[in-house]
Amino acid sequence: MSAKKKHVAKLPRSWPLQEQKSKNSRKFPGEKKKHRKEMIAVKRRERMLRRGVDLEKINSKLEQIVLDQVDMFAFQPMHPRDCSQVRRLAAIYRLSSGCQGSGKKRFVTVTRTQYTSMPSSSDKLRLEKLIGAGDEDADFPVNEGFNIKALDSGRARAQKVAKGSGLKKVGSSNIGES
């Protein structure tokens, strides 16, 4: 007699152990991908901190540059990936930024523009996402909002059906009429 082993699907190690046990524990589509992306972001931030680049300190420095109306500022030399993160932060404050130097001597220069200002409410969301300050509260699902296109297409279809059947289009003026 040959006994076949039962095939058991193995989930990647990045997925939490308690979640591997039950299929019912998955709350929404895309949860696993979101978790994986969060873990990658956490590891990226840890690497940046090990290299001596703290985005929160850089953000407070950029804020100070905007408030003190400094024309130009050069940051310490950093890794090219860190340079791109600093440039993204600078873009939120509408500062012009450039990267100069090469290798270990690469650094970011930030210049004031006529549009330079403190971040708007939508920019603050981008800022939190970039820095990772809002990660502790990030329990919201990936598909949180409604699919607007799907809602619109449903309404358009109802109007076409009503038009084809000789019925009046439903509006606020004819509600309750027969």
Indicate which CATH number applies to the domain containing 116.
3.30.1370.50
Taking only the tens place, the pLDDT of each residue in 121-141 is: 888 888 888 887 544 433 333
**In a domain? residue 166:** no
Assigned token pair, 35: 């978790």
**In a domain? residue 98:** yes
Percentage of the chain beyond pLDDT 90 is: 28
Average pLDDT of the chain is: 75
DSSP state of 51: T
**In a domain? residue 40:** no
**In a domain? residue 161:** no
Whether the CB-CB separation of 142 and 97 falls below 8 Å is answered with no
What is the value of pTM for the model shown?
A: 0.55
**In a domain? residue 77:** yes
**In a domain? residue 7:** no
pLDDT grade, residue 90 (50/70/90)?
A: very high
pLDDT grade, residue 11 (50/70/90)?
A: low
Q: What are the start-end ranges of the H helices in 21-93?
A: 31-50, 55-68, 80-92
**In a domain? residue 153:** no
Q: State how many domains the chain has.
A: 1
pLDDT at 74: 94
Assigned token pair, 49: 């901190």
**In terms of residue numbers, what domain contains 64?**
54-132
The yes-or-no verdict on residue 100 having pLDDT over 90 is yes
Taking only the tens place, the pLDDT of each residue in 145-158 is: 434 444 445 555 54
pLDDT at 51: 85
pLDDT at 171: 59
Distance CA 11, CA 171 (A): 51
Query: When comparing pLDDT for 171 and 125, which is higher?
Result: 125
Taking only the tens place, the pLDDT of each residue in 36-86 is: 988 988 888 888 888 888 888 999 999 999 999 889 999 999 988 889 889
Q: What is the mean pLDDT of residues 103-125?
A: 90
pLDDT at 48: 83
DSSP 95-161: -EEEEES-GGG-EEEEE--TT-----HHHHHHHHHHHTGGGGG----TT-S--HHHHHHHHHHHHHH
Percentage of the chain beyond pLDDT 70 is: 60
**In a domain? residue 66:** yes
